[in-house]
Amino acid sequence: MTAHVFSSTPSDLFSPVQLGALVLKNRIVMSPLTRSRAGSLGVPGQLNADYYAQRASAGLIITEATNISAQARGYAYTPGIYNEAQVAGWRQVTDAVHAQGGLIVCQLWHVGRISHPSLQPGGELPVAPSAIQPKAQAFTENGLQPIPTPHALSIDEIKSVLADYHHATQSARAAGFDGVEIHAANGYLIEQFLKDKTNQRTDMYGGSIENRCRFLLEVVDTVIRAWDAAHVGVRLSPLSTFNDISDSNSQALFCYAVEQLNRFELAYLEVVEGETGGARQLENGFDLQMLRRLFKGMYIANNGYDQRMAVEALQHHRADLVSFGRPFIANPDLVKRFQIDAPLQSLDPSTLYGGDGRGYTDYPAIR
């Protein structure tokens, strides 16, 4: 057990909130958490349904990152949302969450270059905006393997990926989700287009900030045409270097991106504040709250929050909701623990990725 978390009288953290088309019972969001328990075919099952249902007291659950196509896959045993078996598997999950009074959205994912031929259809190279090899390894069914230099997408291939986003969104609707989140963070495909370390194209998708944002905005457009903006959110990580990525002018890039996202009237924007899964320190001169001020919709703050920080963020209007990741792994009843000032359980890092119910569905709730 860890030390007690901050105790407060019922605050905005526990109050209902309108998020696009959804009415949430509280402002505590379960952030996406890759757990690699969907088998080699990426089909969720009863184990996954049990896991998410246990955490349905969150105002909103954002699923683990979910592959929009076979090409989008970059980690072994991660789920997909592009074929009938996967849709049926996810329907088990959404039904279980709804039966517990919860809401759940599907995070749409394309890893881009962060993959390996053994994870790709026909053993092909991973794809990316530019043929730049990352300093990273891929988690395959045969363990960690070096990532090769990716194949740079052609214009026609980009159109095909956009079609995959459209299809995956339709599949998420068919699976009973309450919405989707576009994963544009953490060094994966959309962010590879955004940041200039990974995008060295000279066509309409490269060079200027406007061109590098084009793919993100086209993804958003195709997703909302498959559903509607009130059921769609976007996740960004402006300062993260995760998966060997960076930009020479992050402030200008992300201010422009957020201003352009406003025209869609999205349900929300979720922002990873600082280094993904790491330090919250901001790069010199970066004004994170400028993104909060620029975005005209609901803002979900993420990364390293505890209850005290979350309450303060809401009280000072730095966020409308807060998403919690690792605390939800070992504390399926995190909302209740916050409400009654109960100690938080510590997670077992050896069971984070892959395996069975151990370290997944066996963390006890308070009785």
**What pLDDT digit, counting tens, does each position of 222-245 carry?**
999 999 999 999 999 999 899 999
**What pLDDT digit, counting tens, does each position of 111-144 carry?**
999 999 999 999 999 999 999 999 999 999 999 9
Is the pLDDT at 96 greater than 50? The verdict is yes
**Helix H segments across the chain?**
46-54, 84-99, 155-174, 189-194, 209-212, 214-226, 250-261, 288-294, 307-315, 326-330, 334-340
Per-residue model confidence (pLDDT) at position 71: 98
Per-residue model confidence (pLDDT) at position 282: 63
Name the amino acid, one letter, at 202: T
**How many percent of the chain have pLDDT more than 90?**
92
Is the pLDDT at 75 greater than 90? The verdict is yes
Domain 12-351 belongs to what architecture?
Alpha-Beta Barrel (3.20)
Per-residue model confidence (pLDDT) at position 281: 65
* 63: nearest Cα among 243, 325, 363: 325
Q: Average pLDDT in the 6-29 region?
A: 82
Structure confidence at residue 104 as a pLDDT band (50, 70, 90)? very high
Decide if 353 contacts 34 (C-beta within 8 A): yes
Decide if 271 contacts 264 (C-beta within 8 A): no
Is the pLDDT at 8 greater than 50? The verdict is no
Q: Average pLDDT in the 309-336 region?
A: 96
**What pLDDT digit, counting tens, does each position of 243-293 carry?**
999 999 999 999 999 999 999 999 999 999 977 766 666 656 788 889 999
Structure confidence at residue 303 as a pLDDT band (50, 70, 90)? very high
Measured distance CA(63)–CA(74) in Å, rounded: 17
Structure confidence at residue 2 as a pLDDT band (50, 70, 90)? very low
Q: Is 188 a catalytic residue?
A: yes
Per-residue model confidence (pLDDT) at position 292: 94
- Considering the chain, what is the average pLDDT of its residues? 94
The residues, ordered by sequence, that sit 6+ positions from 222 with a Cβ below 8 Å of its Cβ are 162, 163, 165, 166, 169
Decide if 30 contacts 62 (C-beta within 8 A): yes
Per-residue model confidence (pLDDT) at position 3: 34
Measured distance CA(184)–CA(20) in Å, rounded: 19
Per-residue model confidence (pLDDT) at position 6: 35
**What pLDDT digit, counting tens, does each position of 189-213 carry?**
999 999 999 999 999 999 999 999 9
Is the pLDDT at 10 greater than 70? The verdict is no
* Count of CB atoms situated within 10 Å of the CB of 30: 26
Strands (E) in the chain, as ranges, are 17-19, 22-24, 28-30, 60-67, 104-109, 127-128, 137-140, 143-146, 151-152, 180-184, 232-236, 268-272, 298-302, 321-324
Catalytic residue among 82, 188, 205, 360: 188
Decide if 129 contacts 205 (C-beta within 8 A): yes
- Alpha-carbon 251 to chain mean position: 21
Q: Which two tokens stand for residue 213?
A: 């944002």
Decide if 260 contacts 207 (C-beta within 8 A): no
Structure confidence at residue 184 as a pLDDT band (50, 70, 90)? very high
The residues, ordered by sequence, that sit 6+ positions from 335 with a Cβ below 8 Å of its Cβ are 14, 26, 28, 57, 58
